[in-house]
């Protein structure tokens, strides 16, 4: 963001009124913007000076309290029909247990696309906020892949896509929606891309499904027994380019297609991406170098 978009938020940040995500964005911005950093230091110095030179007169708090309206105490209504309060009785415990049973058994089950997208996005943002992007920090694909395979029931494709503008920075074990997931982490400029993968044995392949939530783009697909989810704040066309490369180089079958907007028909990936090809063989077109690995050379399941 431009500095003028952050400047009005400096005083808000000093007062502790920013949400956790905007606090994280502000902290990142202050590291690269001397103007906003100087403004924050100036406000802090002013705050310290006021606190050290001004003292509230004695009795001010009491006078303010006396000026506030007093609330009348409403007497507690007595139980009707001679029924004693339930608190502390066995009946109260029985009712509480029945209510909890209904809540647990009859409540909505966490499933479906909406819940999965929310869980994926939460895991991605949590890694950014806590500065825990990787468990293994390396750009060596031959280190990241066996590290993940040794800890999970899935061996996701780990690709060196530096020549395509997607720098591999490492991997981690993510946990969301009650399961451990592989997370292969890439960087595109200043943007972080998480590629999540987990086993889906027996499930049929599924085409690319795109979503946008809270300014983040997400793409889901399933291929050869593995469920994938890519999430980042890069533009959708850049994330789609990344998933093209991951799907084409990571599995032996053809790349998934894209669901057409406004309907259930399928569009070829090339048409959906504005004319860009999706196969590794076409990666060299338009000045791009060949992919480090050929399609199908990385198995989808370990």
Q: How many domains does the chain have?
A: 2
- Tell which of 36, 53, 70 closes a domain: 53
Domain interval for residue 24:
3-53
Question: Does residue 117 lie within any of the structural domains?
Answer: yes
Residue 83 has pLDDT above 60, yes or no: no
Residue 228: pLDDT band (50, 70, 90) is: very high
pLDDT at 286 over 70: no
pLDDT at 275: 44
Q: What percent of the chain has pLDDT over 70?
A: 64
pLDDT tens digits for range 46-78? 877 777 776 667 777 777 777 777 666 556 655
Whether residue 107 lies inside any domain: the answer is: no
49 and 116, same structural domain?
Answer: no
Q: State how far Cα 187 lies from the chain centre.
A: 15
Question: Residue 267: inside a domain, yes or no?
Answer: yes
Last residue of a domain, one of 31, 53, 75: 53
Q: Read off the pTM.
A: 0.51
pLDDT(253) > 70: no
The arithmetic mean of pLDDT across residues 109-119, rounded, is 69
In this structure, are 47 and 144 located in the same domain? no
Residues 145 and 264 reside in one and the same domain = yes
* Cβ within 8 Å of residue 192, ≥6 positions away: 124, 127, 128, 133, 185, 186, 232
Do 121 and 190 have their domain in common?
Answer: yes
Asked if residue 302 is part of any domain, the answer here is no
Residue 84 falls within a domain, yes or no? Answer: no
Residue 112 has pLDDT above 70, yes or no: no
pLDDT at 96 over 60: no
Nearest to 195 by CA among 236, 247, 131: 247
Tell whether 37 and 162 lie within a shared domain: no
Mean pLDDT of the chain: 74
Answer yes or no: do 148 and 261 share one domain. yes
Q: Which of 301, 161, 169 is nearest to 239 (CA)?
A: 161
Q: Determine which of 45-49, 80-84, 143-147, 205-209 has the lowest per-residue pLDDT on average.
A: 80-84
- Is residue 269 located within the same domain as residue 193? yes
* Residue 11 CB contacts under 8 Å (≥ 6 apart), including other chains: 43
Residues 118, 251: one domain?
yes
pLDDT confidence of residue 95? 57
Which of 13, 28, 53 is the last residue in one of the domains?
A: 53
Which CATH number does the domain housing residue 265 bear?
Answer: 3.30.200.100
In a domain, 153, yes or no: yes
CA atoms within 13 A on the CB side of 166: 28
Question: What local confidence, expressed as pLDDT, does residue 48 receive?
Answer: 78
100: pLDDT strictly greater than 60: no
Same domain? 39 vs 130: no
What's the confidence (pLDDT) of residue 250?
56
- For residues 140 and 280, state if they share a domain: yes
Q: Is residue 62 part of a domain?
A: no
Query: Are residues 49 and 123 both part of a single domain?
Result: no
Same domain, 150 and 40: no
Residue 154 in domain:
yes
Find all residues with CB under 8 Å of 47, minimum gap 6, and list them: 14
DSSP reduced 3-state for 248: helix
Residue scoring higher pLDDT (218 or 263): 218
């Amino acid at each position: 963001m431009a500095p003028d978009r952050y400047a009005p938020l400096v005083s808000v940040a000093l007062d502790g009124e920013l949400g956790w995500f905007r606090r994280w964005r502000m902290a990142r911005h202050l590291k690269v913007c001397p103007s906003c950093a100087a403004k924050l230091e100036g406000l802090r110095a002013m705050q310290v000076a006021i606190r050290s030179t001004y003292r509230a007169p004695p009795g001010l708090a009491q006078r303010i309290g006396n000026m506030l309206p007093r609330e009348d105490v409403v007497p507690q209504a007595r139980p009707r029909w001679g029924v004693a309060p339930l608190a502390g009785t066995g009946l109260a415990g029985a009712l509480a247990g029945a209510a909890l049973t209904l809540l647990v058994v009859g409540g909505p089950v966490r499933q479906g696309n909406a819940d999965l997208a929310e869980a994926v996005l939460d895991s991605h943002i949590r890694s950014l906020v806590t500065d825990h992007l990787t468990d293994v920090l390396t750009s060596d694909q031959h280190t990241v892949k066996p590290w993940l395979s040794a800890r999970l029931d899935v061996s996701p494709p780990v690709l060196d896509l530096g020549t395509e503008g997607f720098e591999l920075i490492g991997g981690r074990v993510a946990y969301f929606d009650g399961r451990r997931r592989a997370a292969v982490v890439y960087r595109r400029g200043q943007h972080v891309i998480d590629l999540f993968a987990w086993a889906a044995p027996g499930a049929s392949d599924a085409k690319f499904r795109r979503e946008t939530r809270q300014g983040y783009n997400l793409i889901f697909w399933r291929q050869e027994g593995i469920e994938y989810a890519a999430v980042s704040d890069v533009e959708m066309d850049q994330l789609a380019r990344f998933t093209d490369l991951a799907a084409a180089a990571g599995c032996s079958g053809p790349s998934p297609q894209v669901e057409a907007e406004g309907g259930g028909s399928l569009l070829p990936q090339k048409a959906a991406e504005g004319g860009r090809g999706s196969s590794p063989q076409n990666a060299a077109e338009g000045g791009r170098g060949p992919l480090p690995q050929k399609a199908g050379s990385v198995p989808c399941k370990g």
